Structure 1
Amino acid sequence: MNSKQLVWSDFVIYLKLTCVAVLWGGTFIAGRLTVSEVPAQIAALMRFIVASVLLVAILIKVEGSFKKINFKQHLLTASMGLTGVYTYNIFFFGALSYMEAGRTALFVSLSPILTIIAARVLFREKLSTLNYWGVILAFFGTLLVVTKGHIFSQLNASFGTGELMMSCAVLSWVAYTLLCKKTTGLSPLIMTTYSTLWGLVFLLIGFIAEIQAWQIFTFHARTYLSILYLGALGTVLAFVWYAQGISKIGTSRTIIFNNLVPLFAVLLAFLLLNEPITLSMLIGGILSFSGVLLTNIKN
């Protein structure tokens, strides 16, 4: 592959990861709409039923059959399903039941830094000094966006059930991202399909304990659309592209795009819900994008 092809390949991955940030920004709005009518456990279950059906259909279409994997690969994808699908979504939807989407997004900004530190320790994945400055810049920009410039007042806010749940969600996603790095020999599509199926199994097992409390819910049309969005775009498309990013440019340079998720969540809230955007949020967005660019500059 020549230099022009390499540059184009990297550009495509960066574009996909930016789109992932947009899609995940939308999950905060869709998730908030969903949990206003559906319990967190049911919301997560419905999201991954949709995602599992679509992923299996796509895998059979692309590969020609449902590809089997070995025992070790099952262990890895099961661990990914447990962390990135089951525990993350239970805590994510649970947190949205207790706190507003903006404060929830504040915790998401912690996942890139935690993941980059872990990747450095576990995988010896190195970044240049300039790249690390980019990480710090992106983090600070994200804080400006989600706190609307009132960083210290938000950081000093009380730490309750929602904050605890979101902290657990962040740690779950860090674990999922690191496990993505370990799934050598699997394409992003196969890896995402199996981890999603395993996650669905764990969600179904967890649902058994809640089955006595099950009742028939009457949903608004927007709830069905939100669940479809969460399953098809927020999971199938976003998870596959995220896995491609880790495979192509590494864990650290992929996870930094998560700093753009709160930015796009705020932007979508402005476009769809007419929520205001302040000057500090605009400055924070510029800093976040600049930080992501700096982190992805290669030596």
Structure 2
Amino acid sequence: MENVGSKIKLNPAARKQAERPRTGFWLVVLGAALWGADPLFRIILLREHITPTQIVLLEHIVIALFVFPVLWKHRSEMKGLKLRHIGALLFLSWGGSAIATILFTLGLTHGNLNAVLLLQKLQPIFAIIMARMLLKEKLPKQFGGLLVLALAGTYLLTFGFTFPFGHMNDFVKVGSLLSLGAAALWGGSTVMGRLMVGKMEYETVTSLRFILALPLLIGITINQGDPWQIPTGAGPLAAVSLNLLGQALLPGLFSLLVYYKGLTTTKASVATLAELSFPMVGVLINWIVFNEMVTIAQACGFILIWAALFSISRRSAA
């Protein structure tokens, strides 16, 4: 007599389809985790007296050189785009890729870094609101509790067991406002990306995100009129070039390719919590590069965030 277990094993197609949401979720986690290396590259470039807008423009030029052949290969996918798709692409490229990155880079040079990092955790709030409004997504069971758990973990990663309320002036400085704007745009980009991967291949969405942002970035850079202070010596120029290339390809292009691949089978409201892997990687980089040991509070933050991510992954697969 054949048991139930053997019957399940005889249906690999169904099992593979059930595993796709979970795989997609962890691809989003991986893509977002790679963003954790982005501030490291960005701060090094800022120390070379390159302005935030110039950094973002150079980054997009490098990435555009790699993705243009991909876009040309998939150019047929751009036929028949509706107005809402064009609006989503402009939001992704102008808002999420160009303006948000400029705001975040500016935020690294102003105000309290802890406040900037904490305000980035508001991305799930913006994404959840837009996902419910635009995509009509239903939330997983106990999503509210898991959201609180994840945000509690990110708070511990940022502030530890202390309370920042005695220093509210840090939260109203320029850096905090810039970070809040970036959080809103990136949270909205999660929803717009989910909308577009249902219409196009994720490689095409990624290519358009960077290429469409170039005209806006060129216009902003020209309008600002800041002088270019690229190092002239062979050694410093090579160092800046390698750093820029690494920033553009690792936390830039590759991370987004992985991210959008995972987003094809992951809800936007769920994906935005997966993006909380970003602060965890930031803590590890501080530990490895700057010899800052992980505190007990940060370890507790790791546990809380990963517990939330694991629970959401299980619910997404179900």
- How high is the TM-score relative to the length of structure 2? 0.84
**1:164 aligned residue:** 177
In structure 2, how many angstroms separate the alpha carbons of the residues matched to 1:200 and 1:95? Answer: 21
SS in 2 for 1:176: helix
Q: For 1:69-108, what aligned pairs fall within 5 Å after superposition?
A: 69-70=78-79, 72=82, 73-99=85-111, 101-108=113-120
In structure 1, how many angstroms separate the alpha carbons of the residues matched to 2:143 and 2:88? Answer: 29
1:139 and 2:156 equivalent?
no
Are residues 289 and 246 of structure 1, via their aligned partners in 2, closer, same or farther at CA, if it must alter by over 3 Å?
same
CA contact (8 A) 2:25 2:266 kept: no
SS in 2 for 1:97: coil
Which whole-Å deviations, capped at 9, do the CAs of 1:161-198 have from their partners, x for residues lacking one? 11111111111112222222332321111011112111
Are residues 250 and 179 of structure 1, via their aligned partners in 2, closer, same or farther at CA, if it must alter by over 3 Å?
same
- How many aligned residue pairs are there? 295
Taking every aligned residue pair, what percent have the same amino acid on both sides? 19
Q: Post-superposition shift, 1:222?
A: 4.6
Match of 1:25 among 21, 30, 36: 36
Matched AA of 1:201: P
Q: For 1:109-258, what aligned pairs fall within 5 Å after superposition?
A: 109-153=121-165, 156-158=168-170, 159-183=172-196, 184-211=198-225, 213-218=226-231, 219=236, 221-258=238-275
Are residues 91 and 34 of structure 1, via their aligned partners in 2, closer, same or farther at CA, if it must alter by over 3 Å?
same
Matched AA of 1:125: E
**1:278 aligned residue:** 295
Matched AA of 1:285: F
In structure 1, how many angstroms separate the alpha carbons of the residues matched to 2:114 and 2:247? Answer: 18
In structure 2, how many angstroms separate the alpha carbons of the residues matched to 1:277 and 1:193? Answer: 37
CA contact (8 A) 2:137 2:269 kept: yes
Matched AA of 1:42: Q
Which of 1 and 2 has greater Rg? 2
In structure 1, how many angstroms separate the alpha carbons of the residues matched to 2:309 and 2:273? Answer: 6
Are residues 80 and 90 of structure 1, via their aligned partners in 2, closer, same or farther at CA, if it must alter by over 3 Å?
same
Which whole-Å deviations, capped at 9, do the CAs of 1:235-271 have from their partners, x for residues lacking one? 2111222222332111011111121211111111111
Deviates more, 1:187-196 or 1:28-37: 28-37
After superposition, the CA RMSD in angstroms is 2.3
CA contact (8 A) 1:189 1:240 kept: yes
Deviates more, 1:69-78 or 1:230-239: 69-78
Are residues 266 and 151 of structure 1, via their aligned partners in 2, closer, same or farther at CA, if it must alter by over 3 Å?
farther
Are residues 273 and 220 of structure 1, via their aligned partners in 2, closer, same or farther at CA, if it must alter by over 3 Å?
farther
Gaps of at least 5 residues in structure 2 are: 1-11
**1:9 aligned residue:** 20
SS in 1 for 2:88: helix
Deviates more, 1:198-207 or 1:1-10: 1-10
CA contact (8 A) 2:30 2:259 kept: no
Q: Post-superposition shift, 1:93?
A: 0.8
- How high is the TM-score relative to the length of structure 1? 0.89
Q: Post-superposition shift, 1:223?
A: 3.5
